Amino acid sequence: MSKVAGTKKFSLGRILIYTFLSITSLLSLFPFYWMFVMATRPSAAYNSIPPTITPGNMLVENFQKVLGQIDFFKAMVNTIILCTSVTLIVLIISSLAGFAFAKFKFPGKNVFFIAILLTMVIPPQLGLIPQFYLISKAGLLDTLQGVGILFLLNPLGIFLMRQYVNGSVPDELIEAAKLDGCSNFRIYRSIVLPIILPAFATLGIIVFTAVWGEFLWQFTILRDPEMYTIQVALATLSNTFKVDFGMILSGVFWATVPLLIIFLFFNRLFISSITDGAVK
């Protein structure tokens, strides 16, 4: 009887957990679904009472309006180039810095590490004017390089990599590699890099989505429509005298779809990397 009761209790607990997860998942997906609904309807449906929750038949028409206002695909290409380049560089810099802070001893190591972490508490808006001045003096206005250079030093990435290397790479393994004549870069490339792949996947998701969703700095630097990222391009859809919500949300919807695909791809890579690391 006790085993039957325990089985019922365990099954009831699983049912409650899955019910809770299902409800929260639906709540999380609802804003995206509502955005899709508004992208398929005229602008008047945005303020309708009761709210419209069923898709309409204007998805293609609203997106054609977007294409008539902005160079949507050019902006998407610029955004993908920017996010991919920044993500790859951040992964390299953060992993190298994290490896150094975790396994090397040098004067002022803790001071430098704390100073890097303290930059995380500084609001980015405070540095907007001096950063704009430096970028303009460097001749990087209206360039993707000028936008991306601000994201290359990522304190969160350095902290994440330092903690992951410190907990996942044994000191004995590094000492054994040094005895075999491996250089520090060879140790990083052949030993550290394969072990920290799960952290790469996690940091890649964080950096890519952060750069994709950033607006203020991109809007400040980019003035040439040929160099617009998707965030800046979508911002130009708003009109002072008339706001077409169907058109705007259609652009936002189609701009979000590639991000969701990339997120799912990195999420699979993240799970696969954890599994491979566990097997090894």
75-103 per-position pLDDT tens digit: 999 999 999 999 999 999 999 999 989 88
Per-residue model confidence (pLDDT) at position 249: 86
Q: What is the four-CA torsion angle of 52, 58, 63, 69, rounded to 10 degrees?
A: -90
Per-residue model confidence (pLDDT) at position 31: 86
Report how far residue 161's alpha carbon sits from residue 173's, in angstroms, rounded to the nearest whole number.
Answer: 18
41-58 per-position pLDDT tens digit: 887 777 777 777 888 888
The domains located in the chain, with CATH, are 70-236 (1.10.3720.10)
- Structure tokens, 108: 């002022």
Between these two residues, 69 and 271, which has the higher pLDDT value?
69
* Whether 40 contacts 55, CB under 8 Å: yes
One-letter amino acid at 222 equals L
* Whether 152 contacts 86, CB under 8 Å: yes
Mean pLDDT of 17-39: 88
Q: To the nearest 5 percent, what fractions of the chain are helix, strand and coil?
A: 80, 0, 20
* Whether 155 contacts 116, CB under 8 Å: yes
Q: What is the pTM of this model?
A: 0.82
Report how far residue 158's alpha carbon sits from residue 136's, in angstroms, rounded to the nearest whole number.
Answer: 28
Q: How far is CA 231 from CA 36, 105, 120, 216, 255, in A?
A: 18, 43, 23, 9, 9
217-236 per-position pLDDT tens digit: 999 899 888 899 999 999 88
